[in-house]
Structure 1
Amino acid sequence: MGYRSFVAVGDSFTEGMNDPGTGGAFRGWADRVAERLAALDPEFRYANLAVRGKLIDQIIAEQLPRAIEMRPDLVSFCAGGNDLLRPGSDPDRMAKKIATAVRELRATGAEVLLFTGVDPRDTPIMRRARGTFAIFFMHLRSIADLHGCHLVDQWSMQGLRDWRAWSEDRLHMNEEGHRMVAAKVCEVLGIDADDDWRKTWPPLDRVDPAAKRREDIQWLREHFGPWVVRRIRRRSSGDGLDPKRPDLELFR
């Protein structure tokens, strides 16, 4: 199918953190996919409504109505990562909200693209909630099957389990990670891509334990600590930020 318009909905993953773009904005997998679609159709239009730090309820309230109003051919909907990081998250309730949103999007005639997340077993803090993550991702697979959605299964992307695909904050992918996700999305949509998501990383040099401890301490101080403080203060990294591409316009 040829897509003449694409609206991306979600949080930091879809906004593109931390894949450097131009003018201080982030690029990310969604922009990379839009570039491929624009190469196929000079009249292709694209909007990216995603804002970092947003929860499912915020995405549904703030972004979903706008996406429905635009009536694009394709909508990507990825939400839940920030909810899962909060104590007491309920993957069953989260999935019900996603299912309702997907039904509304599909009712417009749009193709919908959903995502599972990456297996968190290699992340010391998040792996304790691995079962909760897995339940939510299985719900997403079910929703995709029930409503005829495209599904990008990041759980199966072994290349994303390597820290070289992630930025220093250990929560967001870097340029290489976003490049792999874009390649996977293109494959799911049946679009040719320059990259291959089945990346095999070269062997790592032996890591000095002392250097690793210093890196961990730096991460705790510069990234994890501020994240905890924001949670305590009920603040978000996306507070006050607008979407980087709020309107469905020709992609240039």
Structure 2
Amino acid sequence: MTVQSLLPARPPVTRPIRTLATLGDSTAVGLGDPLPGGGWRGFPVLLRDATGAELVNPARTGARMADVRHTQLPAVLPARPDVALICAGMNDTLRSDFDAAGVRADLAATLDALRGVGCHPVVLRYHDHTRVFRLPGRLREALRNRVTALNAAIDEAVRSGGGDAGILDLHRLPGGYERAAWSVDRLHPSELGHRLLARAAGELLTGAGFAVPAPVDVRCAGGREITAAHRAAWIVVKGTPWLVRRGRDLGPVILHGLLAGGRAG
């Protein structure tokens, strides 16, 4: 036995996350996890608290991948974040002009720019949202195919940059398809869903060598309680107007699904 073998093993070296960035759509804004005094918390704030980092979050509701590249990225790069999470693409799938190749190009450019400032990017890869948001059969298949095309675009963008970005696959997120993980609109995570997402992101970053001193607790606390009255109000004030606004964009998707047996691309 050598002297060296008698020495205690050194703990693995971890890199602190001083600046954390999140880019993307309403999920990155925190929708679905309301605070008692108003506003939203969501997985970016939960992950910020877990890492002790400064958070830069230019995400906005309705954002598409092109918005991430052209509007949000310029707001993030000067901060030179250690880690950036990208949560975008679902809004692209809900538009009549969905273009998987364009999504891939915008994401690839965003990843290259983040790597250029020494940032470790993490991209969200999407679940089968038709298992959460119930739709008629033909439309369900059409939108499922769009999410498949979106995920293929995400995979290709990551591969084109050498595959060194982290991928958080929401389809494999433990508890991700449970009803309690989703808010009343079935479009955004609930507080629990945001906590599950933040915890999984923290575990992914730990595996990549980053320090996450206070892993996210999945027990809900600090958010606003959602009651039956809140759910009913959402249907009247938010849900129906949203469906009306999206009607013009979703109409071609529905028609294509009905005429082409649900094959949308």
TM-score w.r.t. length of structure 2: 0.71
- Of 102, 105, 115, the residue aligned with 2:114 is 105
Residues 92 and 136, structure 1, Cα contact 8 Å, conserved in 2: no
Name the structure 2 match of 1:27. 41
Change beyond 3 A, Cα 1:187–1:90: same
Q: Distance in 2 between matches of 1:102 and 1:113?
A: 9
Identical aligned residues as a percent: 28
Of 185-194 and 174-183, the range deviating more from structure 2? 185-194
Q: What is the aligned residue count?
A: 211
Residues 202 and 216, structure 2, Cα contact 8 Å, conserved in 1: no
Change beyond 3 A, Cα 1:127–1:222: farther
Name the structure 2 match of 1:91. 100
Change beyond 3 A, Cα 1:101–1:15: same
Give 1:149 deviation, angstroms.
0.7
Q: State the structure with more CA Rg.
A: 2
Q: Which runs of structure 1 show a deviation greater than 6 angstroms over 4 or more consecutive aligned residues?
A: 216-220
Aligned letter for 1:21? L
1:227 aligns with 2:227: no
Q: Distance in 2 between matches of 1:64 and 1:136?
A: 20
Give 1:19 deviation, angstroms.
0.4
Q: Distance in 1 between matches of 2:235 and 2:33?
A: 22
Residues 66 and 103, structure 2, Cα contact 8 Å, conserved in 1: no
Name the structure 2 match of 1:243. none
Q: 1:114 is paired with a residue of what secondary structure?
A: strand
Structure 2 residue runs of 5 or longer lacking an equivalent are 1-14, 207-211, 220-230, 250-265
Q: 2:167 is paired with a residue of what secondary structure?
A: strand
Aligned alpha-carbon RMSD (Å) = 2.6
Name the structure 2 match of 1:164. 180
- Of 77, 87, 104, the residue aligned with 1:78 is 87
- Of 53, 56, 65, the residue aligned with 2:62 is 53
Q: Equivalences for 1:1-252 in 2 at 5 Å?
A: 1-21=15-35, 23-38=37-52, 44-122=53-131, 123-125=133-135, 127-128=140-141, 129-147=143-161, 148-190=164-206, 191=212, 193-195=215-217, 223-231=238-246
Aligned letter for 1:45? E
Name the structure 1 match of 2:228. none
Give 1:232 deviation, angstroms.
5.7
Q: Distance in 1 between matches of 2:58 and 2:233?
A: 32
Change beyond 3 A, Cα 1:20–1:62: same
Aligned letter for 2:24? G
Name the structure 2 match of 1:239. none
Give 1:98 deviation, angstroms.
0.9
Give 1:194 deviation, angstroms.
4.2
Q: 1:87 is paired with a residue of what secondary structure?
A: coil
Q: Distance in 2 between matches of 1:194 and 1:107?
A: 29
Give 1:14 deviation, angstroms.
0.6
Aligned letter for 1:28? G
Residues 16 and 26, structure 1, Cα contact 8 Å, conserved in 2: yes
Give 1:158 deviation, angstroms.
4.7
Q: Distance in 1 between matches of 2:155 and 2:195?
A: 23
Change beyond 3 A, Cα 1:90–1:34: same
Name the structure 2 match of 1:204. none
Q: Deviations over 1:194-252 (max 9, x none)?
A: 4469xxxxxxxxxxxxxxxxxx9998655443113333689xxxxxxxxxxxxxxxxxx
Q: Distance in 2 between matches of 1:109 and 1:119?
A: 32
Structure 1 residue runs of 5 or longer lacking an equivalent are 39-43, 198-215, 235-252
